[in-house]
Amino acid sequence: MKDLTKGREGKLILNFALPMLAGNVFQQLYNVVDSIIIGKFLGKGALAAVGASFPLIFVLISFIVGFAIGSTIVIAQYFGARDMVRVKRAVDTLYIFLFFTSLIMTILGVYVSQYVFRLIHLPPDIIPLAVEYFSIYSMGFVFFFGFQGTSAILRGLGDSRTPVYFLVMSTIINIVLDLTFVIGLGWGIKGVAAATVIAQASAFFAIVFYINKYHKFLDFSPLKMKFNREIFIKSIRIGFPSGVQQTVVSVGFLALYRIVNMFGTNTIAAYSVAMRIDSFAVLPAMNFSAAISTFVGQNIGAGKVSRIRSGLLATLKMSMMISVVISVLAIAFARPIMSVFTNDKEVIHIGMQYLYIVSPFYLLLAAMFSLMGLLRGSGDTLTSMFITIFTLWIVRIPASYFLSVKFGNVGIWWGIPVAWFLGLTLSFLYYKTGRWKKKGVVSKKVRPEEEMGEGFSEE
């Protein structure tokens, strides 16, 4: 675990972000491998089916992910205040919530998936494949939430490195099983879903074993866990806006897919591949955003608000510099990148158009994510929720629709940077008001470092 309330802000944030970045690269890697194997061996129909499944998956997991964000901020602020008793209570409360809600989401997802795919006008020949993939994938929600929740807990305590090891392990397992199930055994799209579920389960059980062995004060023992109503309410206060934000974003992606679906299988497949490429391209921005959230949370808990501005400036510089490099690479190698996923010339052409239009603006996204991360870390998740909802539903979706009517599928892509620009502007203006400084959950320091309990170290 790592104390982020002492030392050079930029160095702390960089060292915290890099392990998360490495871990998420591996996490996205097995999603990309899925797409490559599907595109090369199962065809563009299967590729479109898997791509269309992810907005629905995002809808089902988004609110729970938002609550986990709230819990992580609560944990980080209690950790900054050196109140390890409440850290443990927050951890138990998060696990109990994740377990029961994951069961509900699994049942709900299996029941509604076919209706949702019809609602967004997915082509009839793709719906059976999408339902088959989603039904198996959703069986792994309990493992997905368990691993993501545990990783979030460790990040809140300043440990961004450990989850990386288990993500690497999970990625290797997923790739090996993908090749075995799809190419070796000929299981088709269900083999891809089964490989992901097994990989997620392996990562979850492994990280739980690690916690029980090396961080005994966290003590992952389901029968001993206690639900804390007070901490749950605090987590909800911070996490509910994030959950609503995530849910609204995920529903927005479904709405965007409905626009995309109007242009047929080639555009759906190209958009699915472009989303995979985007998921890699935005990783630095996302992980620096997560890093500054934990940094801000710990420093607010410790009463060191003066360090936050320096941390933000350092984060902006690092995140935006990396984004410029990624933009250049995405434009220069658009065709080779698309060709990795599919041999279909039309799909490649449409995907290249997406990259040419969207990738030059990753800089805007990086700056917006940094500011949003600061607001979340301070506990001011309500404002970031409103900004996100406004830019997505009032700007991006209407702009993508009307531009697509006039310019075809390229109009959909132009709605994306327009929304990023507005989101960045609103985030910056709110940051300058300083109101986010009063949103913390910790009112005073509770204990000195020497009373933090078993399992703590500053390394």
In a domain, 14, yes or no: yes
Q: Identify the CA nearest to 374 among candidates 446, 432, 442, 441.
A: 432
Gap between the Cα atoms of 436 and 454, Å rounded: 33
**C-alpha distances out from residue 344 to 61, 281, 339, 351, Å:** 32, 23, 8, 11
pLDDT tens string 177-217: 988 998 888 888 888 889 989 998 999 999 888 888 877 66
* DSSP 8-state class, residue 227: -
Task: Judge whether 449 lies within some domain.
Answer: no
| Range in 13-17, 216-220, 388-392, 455-459 the model is least confident about | 455-459
- pLDDT of 74 > 80? The answer is no
Binned at pLDDT 50, 70 and 90, residue 33 comes out as: confident
Give the pLDDT mean for 443-447. 45
CB-count burial class (<10 Å; 0-12, 13-18, 19+) for 186: exposed
371 in a structural domain: yes
Question: Residue 458 falls within a domain, yes or no?
Answer: no
Cβ neighbours around 40 below 10 Å, total = 15
Residue 201's nearest CA partner among 154, 144, 134, 149 is 144
* Number of structural domains found in the chain: 1
Range with lowest mean pLDDT among 106-115, 193-202, 222-231, 281-290:
222-231
The answer to whether residue 457 is domain-embedded is no
Residue closest to 131 by CA, chosen among 63, 206, 46? 46
Residue 279, CB-side half-sphere exposure with 13 Å CA sphere: 19
Winning range, highest mean pLDDT, from 95-104, 299-308, 324-333, 382-391: 324-333
* 379-390 average pLDDT score: 82
Q: What percent of the chain has pLDDT over 70?
A: 91
Return the sign of the alpha-carbon dihedral for residues 373, 375, 376, 381. Answer: negative
Question: Which stretches within 38-83 are classed as H helix?
Answer: 44-80
Our CA dihedral for 161, 291, 13, 172, rounded to 10 degrees, sits at 30
Q: Whole-angstrom Cα distance, residue 27 to residue 169? A: 10
Residue 456 lies in a domain: no
What is the pLDDT, as a whole number, of residue 444?
46
Residue 199 lies in a domain: yes
Closest CA to 14 of 2, 31, 25: 2
Which pair of structure tokens corresponds to residue 113? 């998936």
Domain containing 347 equals 9-440
Which residue has tokens 């531009």? 403
Contact 100, 233 (CB under 8 A): no
d(CA 158, CA 155): 5
Q: Is the pTM of this model over 0.85?
A: no
- The b-or-e profile of 95-105 (16+ CB within 10 A means b, else e) is bbbbeebbeeb
User: Amino acid identity, residue 114?
Assistant: Q
Q: For position 439, what pLDDT does the model report?
A: 61
Of 443 and 190, more confident: 190
| Residue 101 falls inside a structural domain | yes
Overall residue count recorded for the chain in this entry:
459
Per-residue pLDDT, 441: 55
Backbone angles phi, psi at 151, to 5 degrees: -60, -40
Q: Looking at 77-86, 96-105, 298-307, 391-400, which range is the least confident one?
A: 77-86
